[in-house]
Amino acid sequence: MNTFTGNGSAASKSSPSAPNSNNFGLGLLGVSQHNLIENNKIGGNLNGVYLGAGGNVTGNIIRRNVILGNPPAEAIREFGVSIGADIQDFSPPGTNTFEGNRCLSYAGAGPSPCPNLGEHQEDAEEEAVAAFVRNRHASQARVFNAVYRLNSPFLPKAARFAPGRTPESDSVTVTGKVVDAACFMMHALAATRASHIDCGAACLARGVPLAIATDDGVLYFPADGNQRLKSLLNARVRASGTVLEKHDPMELKMPVGDKNQMVVRVEGGYKQITIQTLEKMPPAKRGAA
Amino acid sequence: MTQLLPRRVTLSVFCVFALFVCGARAQADDISGTINSTLVLYNDSELNGDVTCAVPLTNPGANPCISFGADHIKLRLNGHTITGPVTPPTGCSLPTDSKYGVGIAAIDRTDVKIEGPGIIQHFERWGLLIGLTGHPSSEVTVKKVTAYRNCWSGMQTFSTSDSNFEDNVFASDAGGSNGASCGGT
């Protein structure tokens, strides 16, 4: 991603009578064909993206850029709204492709791709991560409350355990993905992607614990280690068994190179599942909410 | 309050005889100080200090502060700044000028790299000039470079192909292009 910001002068015009500045954040001039302009931030310039005249700026794909605030408000106030635009397009109509850009103003022969403030992919990914973290934290908070509130509906058996004892649940069923636990705690979204499977397998070979990560981000560590899960790395599984709330810290260790070691220390407890049944599930479908 | 916090993950990396194996790097030429005539690079080079450019405009066309004179080499800026002689709009090049100053030029070159972080600023025309009509360049990488307050574009490409421009910042350029169509890139 490149950033283009604050470029250009309102005084620069192709002719004294031209309404617009010919300066820009990113410009395609002369013979500029079949280029891909993707995932850039372009703001506060006299023009954001400038496609030059002459008929030789064609076949370019401009997509998923944030092109906003061009020209800046002060320039509009001083020189009028026509001094620039987020996209200033002098290319032949329809000869370039605009897809999924965030932009507000367009000047050209069209068709106009602006205004468009649709969901940006980067934001969607960030929101997915944020939602995941929110869910994970919320889930953990519920469990914590259940342990200490005797009337909590979430962990009724907890009330029957004397202080200091570790409550064990009735048989429960959890559904989730088998993940490399150390990676999951550092970057949950990456750890659950298919592209991580080789890395996860390498970590598994070095003894990193596997766990079942449920859709809301809770990790269940098998009581008998990796034995039953190791052939299911990155697969979606359904496991039933009894769950133990462990309150002692846990350390996940893995070698890094020949002489280094990485330690991920988990404080505040974790869940341990004694698996009774385990089955592989089809991958979860991702659909609109 | 502390008890309500979710599990805390502490990441520790213990480095015992930290042995980060780096590939043997070719001897690089170090650059810093004032450059009074175009510095032509023939080897991998890097800045080990800020650079001030005072290259006189003696040759027709571009008079770069630093120019690539060989293929398959790289220039690392190492966080330093290359500063030209003007402050836009004062002293900027006119479109009719036959001689003009630029920061770094890669003309007629293949597989050269300019790696930041680093700043290229205050040049009469372009901070970076990649290729020229009739003198194409290809496989040029410009990465993590900031082009700031150059009179014309932060980076200008002509006849350039198969190149990668990534994670750069082009800010407040084209403040004195005197009618030329210019901008960040």
Q: pLDDT tens digits for A48-96?
A: 999 999 999 999 999 999 999 999 988 988 999 999 999 999 999 999 9
Q: Considering only residues 222 to 261 of chain A, which have any Cβ-Cβ distance to chain B shorter than 8 Å?
A: 256-261
**Is B165 among the domain residues?**
yes
The pTM of this model reads 0.58
End-to-end CA distance of chain B: 51
Phi first, then psi: give them for residue A4, nearest 5 degrees: -120, 115
- Secondary structure E strands in chain B: 8-15, 29-35, 39-41, 45-53, 61-68, 74-76, 81-83, 99-106, 113-121, 128-130, 137-138, 141-148, 155-157, 160-161, 164-166, 169-171
Both tokens assigned to B167: 């994670």
Domain end (from A65, A88, A108): A108
> Has residue A128 been placed in a domain?
no
Q: Which of A108, A127, A148 is the last residue of a domain?
A: A108
Instruction: Say if the Cβ atoms of B7 and A52 lie within 8 Å.
Output: no
- What pairs with residue A263 in β-bridges? A253, B12
The pLDDT, as a whole number, for residue B18 is 30
Residues of chain A with Cβ-Cβ distance to B89 below 8 Å are: 9
The string of pLDDT tens digits covering residues B135-157 is 999 999 999 999 999 999 999 99
Which residue from A minimizes the CA distance to B148? Answer: A7
Range of the domain at B125: 29-171
Residue B37 has pLDDT above 70, yes or no: yes
pLDDT single digits (tens) A103-149: 989 999 989 999 987 655 555 555 555 655 555 544 443 332 223 23
Instruction: Please give the backbone phi and psi of residue B160, each rounded to the nearest 5 degrees, phi first.
Output: -115, 135
Extract the tokens encoding A167: 């409550």
Number of structural domains chain A divides into: 2
Residue A158 lies in a domain: no
Contact check, Cβ <8 Å, A23/B174: yes
> What's the number of domains chain B is made of?
1
* Minimal Cβ distance to A269: which of B4, B7, B179: B7
In a domain, A129, yes or no: no
Is residue A216 domain-resident? yes
Residue A30 belongs to a domain: yes
Check whether residue A101 and residue A168 sit in a common domain: no
Residues A21 and A89 in one domain: yes
Question: Which residue(s) pair with A37 in the sheet?
Answer: A62
Amino acid A162 reads: A
Any domain includes B76:
yes
Comparing alpha-carbon positions, the chain A residue that sits nearest to B162 is A35
Q: Which residue in the set B5, B154, B167 is minimally distant from A1, CB to CB?
A: B167
Q: Tell me, what's the ipTM?
A: 0.71
- For residue B101, being part of any structural domain is answered with yes
3-state SS, residue B112: coil
Residue A64 corresponds to which tokens in the numbers above?
């998923």
pLDDT band for position A246 (cuts 50, 70, 90): confident
Residue A134 lies in a domain: no
Examine residue B164 and state whether it is found in any structural domain, yes or no.
yes
Is A286 among the domain residues?
Answer: no
Structural domain that includes position A224: 163-281
- Asked if the structure places residue B87 within a domain, the reply is yes
Token pair in block for residue A175 = 């559904």
| Best of B4, B8, B9, B167 to mutate (most A CBs within 10 Å, chain A) | B9
Residues A102 and A175 both lie in one domain: no
